[in-house]
Amino acid sequence: MLTHTSKEQRQTPNNAQWCLSHASSLSLNSSALQIDLCEYQCCMARYRAILDKYFDNDAKGSLLAKLKRWTLSMDCTDFWKKQVLEKMISDTHAPCTTLVDLIIIEETPYLTAETNLASDTTSTSNTNTVQLDINEDKNIRSDQNNVSYKNSANVDQHDNTNLNNKTDSLEGEEKRKFRGSMDVKFVDAVSLLFHAHMMCD
């Protein structure tokens, strides 16, 4: 790590000096609270600038590797959600009920979009199923001229069974995808509401 004289330390910005003083336990989230930047990109840019200017290559490399691991974690996601909520409270001075309303308004379009996508997918699936039924009926009527009534009935039953299995498989896959997507959105919304409630308390 770079060594600074007393004169250089006096000229070093407070947030950079704080990072130097806490180098052994330094991280982006700890420095973000000191730098007092709630926006991810601005805080990231300032943090990297401090590392580039005030830390030697070995220390900087270690801290950047630590930063990369943290940005891929859920802790990083939760931290910045909390920062956004705190900034929202600070900017608007809104009461808790208003803050919760704002969060619901912000999250609802994503949930609605997922619901509409699922409805469109189900509608398309139903349309395809009806078309398949029509095509199967046409084929069966054509075959009735060449086979007995009993064989035709067996073909009808067999084809309908296969068709139902295919339809159930397609609908099951779409439902699983939709449920997975909705679970993620629901957890995000609940997490935001929980943080808002904790800060209001």
Of the pLDDT bands very low, low, confident and very high (cuts 50, 70, 90), residue 40 is confident
Average pLDDT over residues 91-96: 61
C-alpha 95/C-alpha 201 separation (Å) is 11
Residues 52-87 have pLDDT tens digits of 999 999 999 999 999 999 999 999 888 888 888 777
Residues 168-198 have pLDDT tens digits of 665 556 556 555 554 555 555 555 655 555 5
**DSSP per residue, the chain:** -----HHHHHHS-HHHHHHHHTGGG--HHHHHHHHT--SHHHHHHHHHHHHHHHS-HHHHHHHHHHHHHHHTSHHHHHHHHHHHHHHHHHHH---HHHHHHHHHHHHHHHHHHHHHHHHHHHHHHHHHHHHHHHHHHHHHHHHTTTS-HHHHHHHHHHHHHHHHHHHHHHHHHHHHHHHHHHHHHHHHHHHHHHHHHHHH-
Q: Which of 119, 96, 100 is nearest to 108 (CA)?
A: 100
Within its chain, how far is the Cα of 175 from the centroid? 19
C-alpha 27/C-alpha 14 separation (Å) is 16
**What is the pLDDT, as a whole number, of residue 30?**
85
Instruction: Give the Å distances, CA to CA, from 173 to 37, 83, 111, 125.
Output: 43, 37, 19, 11
pTM beyond 0.85: no
Tell me which amino acid residue 94 is.
A
